[in-house]
Amino acid sequence: MWNPGFEFLERSQALVYGYRRSLCVRSWVHRGTQENPGLVLGLDRGGSCRGMAFRVDPEKWDEVIDYLRARELVTNVYLERRVQLVLPGRRTIKAIAYIVDRDHPQYAGALEALAAARVVSEAKGQSGPNDAYVFNTLAHLKEMGIRDHWLEEVAGEVKRLRAV
């Protein structure tokens, strides 16, 4: 959300119903290994999620969608879907989102905060420690004025595990 990786005309906070932000994807490369997977975020069914929507120049659409598919569909753990977003002022739009595939072997399911924290506190991949990913995500969400109570609980549990 804070570094989309593509050129955009406008960005806005957005709300999607029917999906929630969740540490539900086993990371075998960037934040863990196949022997000791980490956890990264995905949109999973249920609840709602506040995030960001990006408006792209129509002339750049193909370039942006190719970039997103190359980034998000590497292991096919996500499904590309059109979802309805609610923007400020209650305006609704359709947008592309990447939803976790619950049938994929990398799907970790809905974890309790302590269980997720145990995984996060022990995993490390090519892009660094898994806990750094969680703390960095929370810092960026805070900068954008977005709260994620469950992710905050996971981070709190990671800190508690370290103190033991």
Q: pLDDT value at position 55?
A: 97
Length of the chain: 164
Contact at 8 Å (CB) between 11 and 56?
no
Cα angle 41, 6, 16 (rounded to 5 degrees) comes to: 45
Q: pLDDT value at position 1?
A: 78
Using alpha carbons, select from 136, 135, 96 the residue that is nearest to residue 14: 96
**For domain 10-163, which architecture applies?**
Roll (3.10)
Q: Does pLDDT of 164 surpass 90?
A: no
Cβ neighbours for 139, distance < 8 A, ≥ 6 positions apart: none
**For 19-35, what is each residue's pLDDT tens digit?**
999 999 999 989 999 99
Q: Does pLDDT of 2 surpass 80?
A: no
Q: pLDDT value at position 3?
A: 80
**For 108-153, what is each residue's pLDDT tens digit?**
999 999 999 999 999 999 999 999 999 999 999 999 999 999 999 9
Better-scored residue on pLDDT, 3 or 85:
85
**For 49-85, what is each residue's pLDDT tens digit?**
999 999 999 999 999 999 999 999 989 999 999 999 9
Using alpha carbons, select from 115, 133, 123, 97 the residue that is nearest to residue 36: 123
CA distances to 13, 97, 104, 115 from 121, rounded to whole Å, are: 30, 28, 23, 10
Domain coordinates of the chain in residue numbers?
A: 10-163
Q: pLDDT value at position 42?
A: 95
